[in-house]
Copies of this chain bind each other. A is one copy, B any other.
Amino acid sequence: MSNDQFFTATALHSWKQVVGRYSDGIAPRTDEELQKRVAPGKNRLYYLLGHLTAVHDRLFPLLGIGERLRPDLDAAFISNPDGTLPDPLSGAELKALWNEINTKLTAALERLTPQQWLEKHTAVSDEDFAKDPTRNRLAVVLSRTNHLSYHTGQAVLAK
């Protein structure tokens, strides 16, 4: 492997590890348990799962690697806070969707060449990218990996 390939393999390994850790924590939770809150008055596990699912679904167009599976979920899980809209899916359906989206995402990321990891993501203009070339696909994936870790830290607090 070249240096380039080691860099992308290491970043991808971190992504898979963090997705795997959260998925393992969520897998055994029943629909009832997903209704628990991470702390009094804070988000339900169900809402966090929906939020993370919608945010990861948005990575397909943001990284230019495919079409979204469920753009309709943004209203319940991104545009509005927990409890605003009726829950659009059961907990079991949401868990299945989370797994489906991440399996497809990871497969698409594995197909990227090192050069493609360094290309700009679709939400930055050519002009802005010329000024700051770290606004690339890798930056987005590192950012979303950390976003997932942030909410994983919250999810483990639910009692």
The reply on A87 being an interface residue by CB < 8 A is: no
| Cβ-neighbour of A3 out of B14, B42, B115, B134 (below 8 A) | B115
A52 to chain B: closest CB distance in Å? 12
Which of A78-86, A90-98, A149-157 lies at the interface with chain B? A149-157
* A147 interface contact, C-beta 8 A: yes
Give chain A interface residues in 1-30, CB to chain B under 8 Å.
1, 3-4, 6-11, 13-14, 17-18
Query: Interface range on chain A: under 10, 10 to 19, 20 to 34, or 35 or more?
Result: 35 or more
A53 within 8 A of B: no
A42:B157 contact, CB within 8 angstroms? yes
Are B14 and A136 in contact (CB-based, < 8 A)? Answer: no
Q: How many angstroms between the C-alpha atoms of A98 and B7 in the bound complex?
A: 28
Within 8 Å of chain B (Cβ to Cβ): is A106?
Answer: no
Which residues of A74-123 have CB atoms within 8 Å of chain B's CB atoms?
114-115, 117-118
**Chain A residues at the B interface, C-beta cutoff of 8 Å:** 1, 3-4, 6-11, 13-14, 17-18, 38-40, 42, 114-115, 117-118, 133-134, 136, 138-139, 142-143, 145-147, 149-154, 157
